[in-house]
Amino acid sequence: MRKKILSFLLLFMAILGFATWQYRLLSILLFVLINKNWIKSHPLLLRFKQSYKLLVSTLIIAIFIAIPNYYQRGRIQLAYIDKTGKHIATPINIYLLNVIFSEEEIMNVGMKVSAIIPPTGEPTLIKKLGGRFIREAQNDFWSGKALSFYAQYNQLSWQFSNPGSFAIAQAYNEQFGTNYNGIYITKPQHYTSSKKYPVVLFAHGLFGQLGTLSRTFLKFEKMLHC
């Protein structure tokens, strides 16, 4: 009985607690594995001998669809480049970090932890917990903006165009002194290489990266085929 209660709580967390489909599906998969005998005894699954294996296989495939792409495809891409601006393969260590600690899931946890303390006019405690970023996270959560934040990532997952997050590489650079460079490319709808398109550069600027991003863009411009 305790195992069933625990597994139902896991399923509840998958539906309501996690921002990304990869973690929702992983929780559902664990729920299915924990309750193997109970699920296999369901009338719908009893009709076909391999139904349970098919269910597990389907969930595993869905998880691999939802995680960030290693080989970039689709309209939105995250391209890593070397010092000369040449396109290189996604670093495997950064890719694995993106899969395990996806940016949207970190933001999901951060916003929900921040939301434990409702917005308040007293700034002292808020400052101790992280200052402006905590206040912004609180405002986003309590005003409903967090739902819009999650929706964009969830939509990418099922378009087979989840590029991962370069914030993971930036954090890696900060902690280990590496020099990973990358740029996001969002192609127009119905893009074709036979046409030329105007290019819009957006530099985020966080961590003092504005100048670096500008130089990176200039190196990478030849690869845009625009």
| Alpha helices (H) in the chain, listed in sequence order | 2-16, 21-34, 36-40, 43-46, 51-66, 92-100, 103-114, 123-129, 132-142, 145-158, 166-176, 210-220
Task: Give the pLDDT confidence of 28-37 residue by residue, as tens digits.
Answer: 898 899 888 8
Q: What was the pLDDT predicted at 187?
A: 87
Residue with tokens 């985020």: 204
| pLDDT tens, position by position, 8-45 | 777 777 777 777 888 889 888 988 998 888 888 888 78
- pTM summary value: 0.73
**Encoding tokens for residue 132?**
């402006």
pLDDT for 204: 64
Q: What is the pLDDT of residue 215?
A: 54
What stretches in the chain show pLDDT beneath 70?
Answer: 1, 116-133, 203-226
